[in-house]
C-alpha cells in the first residue's frame, strides 16, 4: 500500500465538505438523468453528456468520458442505470490517472542538483495566489523545510503587503523591495538570500497581468533567466493558480498562461464556494499538466495536495 495511501480522516472530511456544493449539484443532475430508466441507453448518455458539460467538466473532456462509457455499454451489452454511478466514477478516475502525477497526501519537494527548489507562482490577480503561497509555505515549514519567499509581484502594493503578512503569520523570511521594484531583481535577490541561508525551497510570487500577453511573456522569461544565474535549473516548478469558481474561465486562463510560459503544475482554489468543481477534471485532462494542489476551504490546512482517488471518491460518495 505504501505511505501515500493514508489520507487522514481530517483531510477527507475537509475535502468532502469543500466539494459539497459540486457533489450535490452533480449527483442531483445525475439522479434526474436516470429517473424512470432501467438501462443506460442513447437517451441516458445524451443527458449524461449535458450533466457533465453543465458541471463545468468541459466539452472535450465530456466527450471522452461519454465515449469510454459507450464502449463499456457496448461491451457489457446490458448496463443498468444503478451501475452508472460506479462506471462514471471509474472512467473519470481513469482519465485523471492518465495525466496526473502520483497520489500524495502531503507536499513533497523533489531532490534537485542545486538548492533551493524554486517554485515560481503565476496567475491573474484575485485567484488566491498569495493565499496559496502562504498556505504552501506553512505546510512546507511544518514538514521541516526551510522556505524563503520572494515578493516579485511588484505591480500592486497590495500583493507585496499581503505576502509580507503571510510571511509573518507563517514565520518564514521574505525578500521584498516594495511596489514598483524590478520583479527580476527581487527574484534574483530572493534566490541569493535563499542560497546563503541554506533554504530548501524558494517561492517567488509574480504579477498576474493577462491583458497584454507579450508583456507577461517578456517579464516571466526575464525573471526565469535571472533566476537561472543563481540556481542553474531554476525555476524547477512553474505553478499556475486558478480560481475554480470561475469554471470555464479558469480553462481560458490556463490556456493563455501556458502560451506565455511553460507551466508544469496547477493549483485550483476556491472549490468550497462553488458547484463548478468539475472544472478540475476538465483542466487536468485538457492541459495535460498535473493538478498538484486544490483549495477546499479558508483554513490554512485547506490547501490540499490533489489526490485524484480521494477527489473522485468525494464527488460520488
Residues counted in the chain: 317
Predicted confidence band of residue 288 (pLDDT cuts 50, 70, 90): confident
Q: What is the pLDDT of residues 217-241, one digit of tens each?
A: 888 999 999 999 999 999 999 999 9
C-alpha cell of residue 83: 451501475
Torsion of CA 289, 305, 107, 268, to 10 degrees: 60
pLDDT the model gives residue 102: 63
DSSP string, 122-154: E--TTSSHHHHHHHHHHHHHHTT--EEEEEE-T
| φ and ψ at residue 117, rounded to 5 degrees | -75, 125
- In the sheet that 117-122 helps form, which strands lie side by side, from edge to edge? 174-175, 147-152, 201-206, 117-122, 237-243, 265-269, 291-295, 303-305
* Structure confidence by residue, pLDDT tens digits, 71-84: 988 888 777 878 88
pLDDT (0 to 100) of residue 144: 94
Q: Report residue 60's pLDDT band, with 50, 70 and 90 as the boundaries.
A: very high
Neighbours of 24 (CB within 10 A): 11
pLDDT classification of 6: cutoffs 50, 70, 90: low
pLDDT over threshold 70, residue 301? yes
Tell me the average pLDDT across 113-135.
93
Q: What is the pTM of this model?
A: 0.92
Angle among Cα 28, 311, 44 to the nearest 5 degrees reads: 35
Q: How confident is the model at residue 212 (pLDDT cuts 50, 70, 90)?
A: low
Biggest alpha carbon distance in the chain? 68
Residue 25 CB partners (closer than 8 Å, separation 6+): 55, 275
DSSP structural state of residue 295: E
pLDDT at 4 over 70: no
The model's confidence at residue 101, banded by pLDDT at 50, 70 and 90, is low
Q: What percentage of the chain carries pLDDT values higher than 90?
A: 64
Percentage with pLDDT > 70 across the chain: 94
Amino acid at each position: 500500500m505504501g505511505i501515500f495511501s493514508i489520507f487522514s480522516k481530517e483531510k477527507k472530511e475537509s475535502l468532502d465538505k469543500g466539494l459539497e456544493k459540486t457533489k450535490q449539484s452533480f449527483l442531483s443532475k445525475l439522479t434526474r438523468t436516470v429517473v424512470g430508466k432501467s438501462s443506460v441507453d442513447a437517451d441516458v448518455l445524451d443527458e449524461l453528456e449535458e450533466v457533465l458539460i453543465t458541471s463545468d467538466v468541459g466539452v472535450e473532456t465530456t466527450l471522452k468520458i461519454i465515449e469510454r462509457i459507450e464502449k463499456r455499454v457496448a461491451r457489457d451489452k446490458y448496463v443498468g442505470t444503478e451501475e452508472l454511478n460506479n462506471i462514471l466514477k471509474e472512467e473519470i478516475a481513469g482519465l485523471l490517472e492518465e495525466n496526473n502525477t502520483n497520489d500524495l497526501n502531503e507536499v513533497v519537494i523533489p531532490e534537485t542538483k542545486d538548492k533551493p527548489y524554486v517554485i515560481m507562482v503565476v496567475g491573474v490577480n484575485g485567484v488566491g495566489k498569495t493565499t496559496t503561497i502562504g498556505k504552501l509555505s506553512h505546510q512546507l515549514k511544518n514538514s521541516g523545510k526551510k522556505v524563503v519567499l520572494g515578493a516579485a509581484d511588484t505591480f500592486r502594493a497590495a500583493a507585496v503587503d499581503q505576502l509580507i503578512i503571510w510571511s509573518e503569520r507563517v514565520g518564514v523570511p521574505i525578500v521584498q523591495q516594495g511596489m514598483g521594484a524590478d520583479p527580476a531583481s527581487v527574484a534574483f535577490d530572493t534566490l541569493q538570500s535563499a542560497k546563503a541561508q541554506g533554504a530548501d525551497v524558494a517561492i517567488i510570487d509574480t504579477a498576474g497581468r493577462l491583458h497584454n500577453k507579450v508583456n507577461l511573456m517578456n517579464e516571466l522569461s526575464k525573471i526565469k533567466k535571472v533566476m537561472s544565474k543563481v540556481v542553474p535549473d531554476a525555476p524547477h516548478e512553474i505553478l499556475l493558480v486558478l480560481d475554480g469558481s470561475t469554471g470555464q474561465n479558469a480553462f481560458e486562463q490556463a490556456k493563455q498562461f501556458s502560451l506565455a510560459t511553460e507551466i508544469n503544475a496547477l493549483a485550483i482554489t476556491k472549490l468550497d464556494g462553488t458547484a463548478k468543481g468539475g472544472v478540475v477534471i476538465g483542466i487536468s485532462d485538457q492541459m495535460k499538466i498535473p493538478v498538484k494542489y486544490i483549495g477546499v476551504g479558508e483554513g490554512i490546512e485547506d490547501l490540499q495536495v490533489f489526490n485524484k482517488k480521494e477527489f473522485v471518491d468525494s464527488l460520488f460518495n
